[in-house]
């Protein structure tokens, strides 16, 4: 204030002191307010509280009125007459009763346990997620099996038939496209495997990409932990795959073997989540059905390659059957070291308790189809009966045959026939549950 104004004020106070009061300037709080240009500006705010007299005592009311002040008002503590104001509410403390409308009466919900009750699109995604996961695991197992032989210092003549079988399996699985022959040698194989593992156009990149896309489409059907684990592990695999691609020829067999092992760990992790976290119905059934159908076709095809040998060279093919089905340890625990056709075929073809055997896939797929179709529709489950009976018949014939090697060497066409029957069942599954078309009939198989 100007000195003259201060003198005038002192005179007024001295003349009528009861009409004036001294108030300490408050330190206001600040609150964000919308300013010009849709910005938020800090402005001082004052909270006016109220009290009510109930006839006995004055009681403070919860809440009050908040008013935004200009800077000059904030210095004097004077409340503006025309300013932005908002009611301030004080919520009740937790634990107090909340009064509101009562719950609406509802009829009791009936208990429902429908195994396959879900949209066809969702079922289709689960089915193909299972198939692509199985293809990814199969590719990693094949590559690791081949790398185990490439890591040896020298390739012996007895290793050549095994490599021929493995290369045929690699070509059929789409892992490599060039056919390698013993006369040309297998020198190109390491480079081809690096491309399959590391390139963006390789089999591993394509399969992991499809698994990622399907997992994203099914995000609302998977648990948060399961989806997060899939996304995290796929990012880690992509980073390691880029390292392989950058290395090209400098990449060693050991590094490729380690990367294939990481893929198998990822597939095992997803299988564990599906086994322990997913309800036995709906998506879990179609996911498992996709894996059983895919593995049945893979096992039948690979065993047919391994057994397509001359009888005098069948022992190497039988050992390869055990290796491809990851059943060598189980065989040794049952039969020690004697490798014979009947027990080997029983373990990898007909043993319904071996999760790597062909018979296990067929029986599990049939049980899943029964759960999906119900008792009124047994067409698709019955389509697998012939294949299941054929696996059991193979073992029975071998057990009663004097020359087991001769008979086992002729099982390749029968295994290929089972593979074709499983493919027909897969077509029937897609028509009935995904495309929603009537089933067709060919030779009694849908």
Domain ranges of the chain: 30-89, 118-278, 285-433
55 or 80, higher pLDDT: 55
Task: Tell me which residue has tokens 């849709």.
Answer: 38
277-312 confidence digits (pLDDT tens): 888 777 899 999 999 999 999 999 999 999 998 888
224-283 confidence digits (pLDDT tens): 899 999 999 999 999 888 877 765 555 677 888 899 999 999 999 999 999 888 887 778
Task: Please give the pLDDT value at position 97.
Answer: 65
Q: In which band, very low, low, confident or very high, does the pLDDT at 318 lie, cut at 50, 70 and 90?
A: very high
Q: How many CB atoms lie within 10 A of CB 408?
A: 25
Helix axes 283-307, 120-150, angle to 10 degrees: 30
116-169 confidence digits (pLDDT tens): 567 889 999 999 999 999 999 999 999 999 988 888 777 777 778 888 889 889
Q: How many CB atoms lie within 10 A of CB 109?
A: 6
SS3 call for 437: coil
CA distance 172 to 191: 18
Task: Tell me which residue has tokens 């894996």.
Answer: 291
Element (H, E) at 88: strand 85-88
CA distance 352 to 358: 8
11 or 436, higher pLDDT: 11
Q: Which of 169, 137, 140 is nearest to 259 (CA)?
A: 140
Q: Which of 244, 352, 252, 219 is nearest to 296 (CA)?
A: 352
- Bin 49: left if φ > 0, else alpha if -120 < ψ < 50, else beta: beta
Q: Which of 169, 172, 150 is nearest to 159 (CA)?
A: 150
Handedness of CA 363, 366, 370, 376 (dihedral sign): negative
CB 446, CB 380: distance < 8 Å: yes
CA distance 326 to 320: 10
388-437 confidence digits (pLDDT tens): 999 999 999 998 888 888 899 899 999 999 999 999 999 999 988 887 65
SS3 call for 32: strand
Beta bridge partners of 64: 88
Q: Which of 148, 224, 127 is nearest to 193 (CA)?
A: 148
Q: How do beta strands 51-53 and 64-68 pair?
A: unpaired
CA distances from 249 to 142, 145, 193, 242 (A): 20, 20, 11, 14
CA distance 294 to 77: 79
95 or 196, higher pLDDT: 196
Q: Which two tokens stand for residue 12?
A: 């007024």
How high does pLDDT run on average in the chain? Answer: 85
Task: Please give the pLDDT value at position 444.
Answer: 40
Cα of first residue to Cα of last residue in the chain, in angstroms, is 100
Farthest-apart Cα atoms in the chain, separation: 135
Q: Which of 272, 336, 132, 315 is nearest to 214 (CA)?
A: 132
Helix axes 283-307, 253-277, angle to 10 degrees: 140
Q: Which of 7, 77, 16, 23 is nearest to 45 (CA)?
A: 77
Q: Which of 349, 367, 354, 340 is nearest to 415 (CA)?
A: 349
Task: Tell me which residue has tokens 């590391």.
Answer: 198
Task: Please give the pLDDT value at position 442.
Answer: 45
Concatenated DSSP letters of 380-422: HHHTTHHHHHHHHHHHHHHHT-S-HHHHHTT-HHHHHHHHHHH
Helix/strand/coil percentages in the chain, nearest 5: 60, 5, 35
Would the pTM of this model clear 0.95, i.e. be above it? Answer: no
Concatenated DSSP letters of 326-351: T-HHHHHHHHTT---HHHHHIIIII-
Is the pLDDT assigned to residue 197 strictly greater than 70?
yes
Is the pLDDT assigned to residue 334 strictly greater than 50?
yes
């Amino acid at each position: 204030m100007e000195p003259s104004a201060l003198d005038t004020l002192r005179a007024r106070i001295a003349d009528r002191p009861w009409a004036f009061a001294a108030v300490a300037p408050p330190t206001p709080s600040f609150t964000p307010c919308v300013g010009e240009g849709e910005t938020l500006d800090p402005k001082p705010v004052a909270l006016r509280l109220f009290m009510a007299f109930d006839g006995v005592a004055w009681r403070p009311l919860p809440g009050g009125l908040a008013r935004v002040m200009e800077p000059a008002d904030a210095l004097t503590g004077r409340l503006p007459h025309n300013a932005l104001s908002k009611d301030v509410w004080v919520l009740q403390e937790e634990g107090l009763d909340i009064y509101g409308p009562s719950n609406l009466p509802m009829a009791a919900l009936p208990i429902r346990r429908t195994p396959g009750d879900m949209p066809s699109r969702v079922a289709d995604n689960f089915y193909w997620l299972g198939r692509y996961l199985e293809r990814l695991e199969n590719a990693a197992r094949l590559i690791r099996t081949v790398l185990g032989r490439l890591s040896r210092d020298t390739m012996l003549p007895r290793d050549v038939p095994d490599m021929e079988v493995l290369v045929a399996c690699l070509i059929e699985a789409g892992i490599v496209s060039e056919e390698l022959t013993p006369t040309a040698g297998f020198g190109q194989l390491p480079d081809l495997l690096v491309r399959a593992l590391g390139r963006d156009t390789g089999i591993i990149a394509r399969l992991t990409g499809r698994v990622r896309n399907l997992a994203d489409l099914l995000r609302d059907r998977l648990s948060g932990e399961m989806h997060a684990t899939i996304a995290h592990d796929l990012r880690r695999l992509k980073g390691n795959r880029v390292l392989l691609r950058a290395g090209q020829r400098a990449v060693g067999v050991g590094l490729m073997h380690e990367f294939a092992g990481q893929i198998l760990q990822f597939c095992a992790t997803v299988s564990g989540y599906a086994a322990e976290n997913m309800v036995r119905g709906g998506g879990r059934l179609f996911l498992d059905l996709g894996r059983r159908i895919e593995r049945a076709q893979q096992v039948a095809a690979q065993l047919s390659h391994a057994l397509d040998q001359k009888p005098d060279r069948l022992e190497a093919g039988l050992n390869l059957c055990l290796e491809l089905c990851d059943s060598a340890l189980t065989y040794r625990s049952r039969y020690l070291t004697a490798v014979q056709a009947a027990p080997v075929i029983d373990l990898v073809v007909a043993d319904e308790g071996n999760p790597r055997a062909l018979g296990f896939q067929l029986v599990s797929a049939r049980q899943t189809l029964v759960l999906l179709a119900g008792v009124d529709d047994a067409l698709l489950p019955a389509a697998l009966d012939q294949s299941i009976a054929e696996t059991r018949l193979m073992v029975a014939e071998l057990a009663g045959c004097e020359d087991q090697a001769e008979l086992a060497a002729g099982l390749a066409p029968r295994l290929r026939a089972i593979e074709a029957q499983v493919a027909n069942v897969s077509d029937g599954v897609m028509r009935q549950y995904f495309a929603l078309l009537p089933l067709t009939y060919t030779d009694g198989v849908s």
